[in-house]
A and B are shown apart, each in its own frame.
Chain A
Amino acid sequence: MSTFSPTITEPKPRMGGGGGGPVSRFPGGGGGGGRGDDSPDFGETLRRYRLGLAVGLAAVLMLFVSFTSAYIVRQGLGTWDAQTQTYVNDWRPLSLPMGLLMMNTLFILAASFTIEMARRTAFQAAVMAPVVAIPGIAAEKRSPAPWLPLTLLLGFAFLIGQWMAWKELARRGFYLASNPSSSFFYVLTGMHGLHLIGGLIALLYAATIVAFRTRALERKRIIVDITAWYWHFMALLWLYIFALLKFEA
Chain B
Amino acid sequence: MSNSNGHGAGAAVAHAHAAPTGFIRKYIFSKDHKVIGLQYYFLALTAVWVGMILSLFMRIHLVWPNVPIPLFGEIKPETYLTLLTMHGTIMVFFVLTTAPQGGFGNYVLPIQIGAPDMAFPTLNMLSFWVTFLAFVALIAAFFVAGGAPLGGWTAYAPLSAIPLAGPGQGAGMDLWITSIALFCIASLLGALNFITTTLDLRAKGMTLMRMPLTCWSWFVTAILGLLAFGVLLAAGVLLLLDRNLGTSFFVPGGLNVSGVVIKHKGGSPLLWQHLFWFFGHPEVYIAILPGMGVTSQILSTFARKPIFGYKAMVYAMMAIGILGFVVWGHHMFMSGMSPYSAFAFSIMTMAIGVPSAIKTFNWLGTLWKGKIRFVSPMLFAIGFVSLFVSGGLSGPFLAQPALDIPLHDTFFVVAHFHLIMGVAAIFGIFAATYYWFPKMFGRMMNESLGRIHFFITFIGTYAIFMPMHYEGLAGRPRRYSSLDVVQFLHPMKPLELFITVAAILTIAAQFVFLFNLFWSMFKGKKASDNPWEATTLEWTTATPPPHDNFGGKVPVVNNGPYEYGVPGVARDYVMQTDPPVPAAKH
Contact: A48 with B268, CB < 8 Å? no
- Which single member of A26, A63, A73 contacts B233 (CB below 8 Å)? A63
Contact: B229 with A59, CB < 8 Å? yes
Known A-B contacts A3-B578, A70-B249, A80-B253; the reply to A176 vs B241 at CB < 8 A is yes
Most buried by B among A52, A65, A74, A80: A52
Contact: A180 with B248, CB < 8 Å? yes
Most buried by A among B2, B249, B552: B249
Asked if B147 is at the interface of the complex by the 8 Å CB criterion, the answer is: no
Contact: A60 with B253, CB < 8 Å? no
Contact: B196 with A51, CB < 8 Å? yes
Interface size of A by CB at 8 A reads 57
* Complex: A108 Cα to B329 Cα, angstroms: 39
* Complex: A23 Cα to B121 Cα, angstroms: 9
Asked if B254 is at the interface of the complex by the 8 Å CB criterion, the answer is: yes
Contact: A48 with B200, CB < 8 Å? yes
A-B contact count (CB 8 A): 202
* Complex: A229 Cα to B553 Cα, angstroms: 35
Asked if B354 is at the interface of the complex by the 8 Å CB criterion, the answer is: no
Asked if A11 is at the interface of the complex by the 8 Å CB criterion, the answer is: yes
Min Cβ gap A31→B in Å is 3
Min Cβ gap B185→A in Å is 9
* Complex: A187 Cα to B235 Cα, angstroms: 12
Known A-B contacts A8-B4, A25-B121, A58-B226; the reply to A183 vs B9 at CB < 8 A is no
Contact: A6 with B248, CB < 8 Å? no
Contact: B192 with A73, CB < 8 Å? no
Which single residue of chain A is at the shortest CB-CB distance from B554? A30
B558 / chain A contacts, CB cutoff of 8 Å: 3
Which residues of B94-128 are within 8 A (CB) of A? 114-117, 119-122
Min Cβ gap B322→A in Å is 15
Asked if A55 is at the interface of the complex by the 8 Å CB criterion, the answer is: yes
B231 / chain A contacts, CB cutoff of 8 Å: 62-63, 65-66
- Which single member of B195, B228, B247, B268 contacts A73 (CB below 8 Å)? B268
Min Cβ gap A20→B in Å is 9
Which residues of B211-226 are within 8 A (CB) of A? 226
B248 / chain A contacts, CB cutoff of 8 Å: 177, 180, 183
Which single residue of chain B is at the shortest CB-CB distance from A68? B234
Contact: A77 with B268, CB < 8 Å? yes
Known A-B contacts A3-B558, A7-B4, A11-B13; the reply to A52 vs B203 at CB < 8 A is no
Asked if A124 is at the interface of the complex by the 8 Å CB criterion, the answer is: no
Contact: A25 with B553, CB < 8 Å? no
Asked if B555 is at the interface of the complex by the 8 Å CB criterion, the answer is: yes
* Complex: A23 Cα to B200 Cα, angstroms: 19
Min Cβ gap A92→B in Å is 11
- Which single member of B191, B202, B237, B555 contacts A55 (CB below 8 Å)? B191
Contact: A82 with B119, CB < 8 Å? no
Can you list 16 residue pairs at the A/B interface with Cβ under 8 Å?
A4-B556, A5-B553, A6-B4, A8-B13, A27-B116, A29-B200, A33-B4, A34-B1, A48-B200, A55-B195, A56-B188, A66-B231, A66-B233, A66-B234, A70-B275, A183-B248
Which residue numbers of A lie inside 8 Å of B, CB to CB?
A: 1-11, 19, 22-23, 25-27, 29-31, 33-34, 36, 44, 47-48, 51-52, 55-56, 58-63, 65-67, 69-70, 73-74, 77-82, 90, 176-177, 179-180, 183, 187, 191
Which residue numbers of B lie inside 8 Å of A, CB to CB?
A: 1-2, 4-5, 7, 9-10, 12-13, 15-16, 18, 31, 114-117, 119-122, 188-189, 191-193, 195-196, 199-206, 226-231, 233-235, 237-238, 241, 245-249, 252-254, 265-268, 271, 274-275, 278, 540, 550, 552-556, 558, 575, 577-579
